[in-house]
Structures are given as C-alpha cells and as structure tokens.
C-alpha cells in the first residue's frame, strides 16, 4: 500500500510538473521572414521577461506553417497570407485573426538588368518583361506567403510562368534566404519581402529593381490556435503572446526594430475603438 501511495504521489508530481512546463512555453509556427530578419531575437526577450513564458519558433514557409498548425503542432500562427489565414480561422483551427504589421515585397535583380525593369513601379508589367526577355527568375515555389503573392501577380498577366519552368523560370522549393542565394548565383531576378532583403548579407551586385506598387503590400497576421480543434494547445500562453504583440508595448517594439537604420516592419494592429 505504501509503495502504491508513493507511486501515485510521484505520478501526480510528474503530471503537475509537465503542466507547469507546458504553461511556461509556447510554440509559434511562423513565416521565415520574421525569423530571418532578426525580429524575434529583438522582440522575444521583452515578452519573455514580462510574462515568464518561453517562446519557441518554427520558421518555415507560410503554407507549411499553416499545415503544421492544422496538425496541432503549435500554439500560435504568425504568417503573411491573409486569405489562407482567414480560411484557417473559418475552418475552426484558429480563435481569431488580427492584423499585426506590414511591409512590402520588392523584386531584386543584377545591375545588368537584362529585362530592363529597373525603376519600374508596376510589378505585373515587370514580370511580363522578364518573361518576354526570358530572363532568369528564381521563384520560391514552396507555397509560402511570398510564393502565393508572386503567383497572384502572375495571374494578372498573360504569362503562365509554368510554361518556362526549368528554363527561365526556376523554382527552388526553398526559403527566402536560400532562394536569394540561388537566384544571385544564377543571375536571376527574385521577389522577396523587404525585411529579408535588408537583412540579407550576400547582395553582391544586386539592387532593388521594382518597388512601390500597392500590389506588393505585405500584411502579417497573428492567430492563436484553437483549443477546441487542438486540445493540447497552450491556449493561455498563446493568447498572452498574441495580446502582447498587438498591445501598445508590442507594437512599439515592432516599430523600433531596425537594421542598418531602416525600419523593417510597420505595426498596424487595430486599436481599441477602431474596426478591424
């Protein structure tokens, strides 16, 4: 009997310890740009110090991050493909989606500019010119938020980039940093989020060729994973992190993050008393 009581007490203690460990940490399924740009390294110490919650980040393409969260592998989703995010919530996997911050996409290319698009503000016209010149273009091809945006831009042209696959249109199936490295190595144009480009250290002779088109707007959202869909989720910790990100303190921290004197993300979470 004494042994059984000791075993029971030990089991309960282990269970309590596991519960405490879970409540003290969360897993964020994230797009790569927020990680590669160094934003989390800047933000997370402040949140962790204030909350006592440790934040672990898995940085993958948006499509993979959403799939991981649908598989209940994560407590918070932070990505940049609004229609897919809204579908995630509508399907019952997220409690609510909130705008968090934005920046923009740019198309970068070599100084030689074989498609003659440098200085162009019309992204679709630039893509059409690249296709017409059959100049190399490196696509992530990985269902990321950047890839989704790129495909939406192609859909507004008369070009089907798949027809050039393996020739001038080259799909890397890789993250943004790896795609930039591959693109630069092959002299290809690349569409990238501006934060990753600013942080990217292997620019060589590459410059921004296309920017300023409103269609290149890049919105990020934050979504706590639903405990109804995923009973194992740390709902309390997830909500605390999401609430902090959209709070005045979190938004100020996002705005303050710079690389080489340039602000990478612009907070735009709705304030109390406003719609959205």
Quote the pLDDT of residue 53: 98
> Span 212-241, mean pLDDT?
98
If you ran DSSP here, which 8-state letter would residue 244 be given? H
| H or E element, residue 106 | strand 98-110
Taking a C-beta distance cutoff of 8 angstroms, is the pair 137, 188 a contact?
A: yes
* Averaged confidence pLDDT in the chain: 91
Residues facing 28 on adjacent strands: 57, 76
Structural tokens at position 30: 């994230």
Mode of pairing for the β-strands spanning 54-59 and 137-139? unpaired
Tens-digit pLDDT profile for residues 181-218: 999 999 999 999 999 999 999 999 999 999 999 999 99
Angle between helices 235-246 and 248-256 (to 10 degrees): 60
Residue 29: CB partners within 8 Å, gap ≥ 6? Answer: 58, 60, 65, 66, 68, 69, 73, 74, 76, 77, 78, 79
> Span 147-155, mean pLDDT?
96
Tens-digit pLDDT profile for residues 41-71: 999 999 999 999 999 999 999 999 999 999 9
- 272 pLDDT band, cuts 50/70/90, is low
| H or E element, residue 20 | helix 2-23
pLDDT of 227 higher than 90:
yes
In three-state secondary structure terms, 232 is: coil
Residue 211: CB partners within 8 Å, gap ≥ 6? Answer: 104, 106, 107, 121, 194
- CATH 3.40.190.10 location in the chain: 25-102+219-267, 104-216
d(CA 5, CA 24): 28
- 11 pLDDT band, cuts 50/70/90, is very low
In three-state secondary structure terms, 256 is: helix
Tens-digit pLDDT profile for residues 72-84: 999 999 999 999 9
Q: How many CB atoms lie within 10 A of CB 72?
A: 16
- 271 pLDDT band, cuts 50/70/90, is confident
> Span 95-108, mean pLDDT?
98
Taking a C-beta distance cutoff of 8 angstroms, is the pair 89, 276 a contact?
A: no
29-59 CB burial, b ≥16 within 10 A, e <16: bbbbbbbbbebbebbbeebeeebebebebeb
Taking a C-beta distance cutoff of 8 angstroms, is the pair 150, 140 a contact?
A: yes
pLDDT of 18 higher than 50:
no
Question: What CATH class does 104-216 carry?
Answer: alpha beta
Quote the pLDDT of residue 35: 92
Place of tokens 């080259």: 170
Structural tokens at position 192: 């990238």
Give me the DSSP letters along 49-83. HHH--EEEEEE--HHHHHHHHHTT--SEEEES-HH
| H or E element, residue 10 | helix 2-23
Quote the pLDDT of residue 23: 66
For domain 25-102+219-267, give the CATH number: 3.40.190.10
């Amino acid at each position: 009997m004494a042994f059984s009581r000791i075993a029971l007490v030990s089991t309960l203690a282990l269970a309590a310890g596991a519960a405490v460990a879970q409540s003290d940490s969360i897993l964020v399924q994230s797009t790569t740009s927020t990680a590669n740009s160094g934003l989390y390294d800047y933000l997370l110490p402040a949140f962790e110090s204030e909350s006592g919650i440790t934040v672990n980040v898995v940085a993958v393409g948006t499509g993979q991050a959403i799939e991981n969260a649908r598989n209940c592998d994560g407590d918070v989703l932070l990505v940049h493909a609004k229609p897919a995010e809204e579908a995630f919530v509508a399907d019952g996997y997220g409690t609510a989606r909130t705008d968090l911050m934005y920046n923009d996409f740019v198309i970068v290319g070599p100084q030689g500019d074989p498609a003659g698009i440098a200085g162009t503000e019309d992204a679709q016209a630039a893509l059409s010119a690249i296709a017409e010149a059959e100049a190399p273009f490196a696509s992530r091809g990985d269902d990321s938020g950047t890839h989704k945006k790129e495909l939406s831009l192609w859909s507004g042209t008369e070009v089907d980039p798949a027809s050039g696959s393996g020739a001038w249109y080259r799909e890397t199936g890789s993250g943004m940093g790896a795609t930039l490295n591959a693109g630069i190595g092959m002299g290809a144009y690349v569409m990238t989020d501006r934060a990753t480009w600013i942080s990217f250290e292997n620019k060589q002779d590459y410059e921004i060729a296309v920017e300023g088109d409103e269609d290149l707007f890049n919105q990020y959202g934050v979504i706590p994973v639903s405990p109804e869909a995923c009973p194992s989720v740390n709902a309390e910790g997830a909500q605390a992190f999401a609430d902090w990100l959209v709070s005045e303190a979190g938004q100020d921290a996002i705005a303050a993050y710079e690389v080489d004197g340039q602000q990478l993300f612009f907070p735009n979470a709705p304030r109390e008393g406003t719609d959205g």
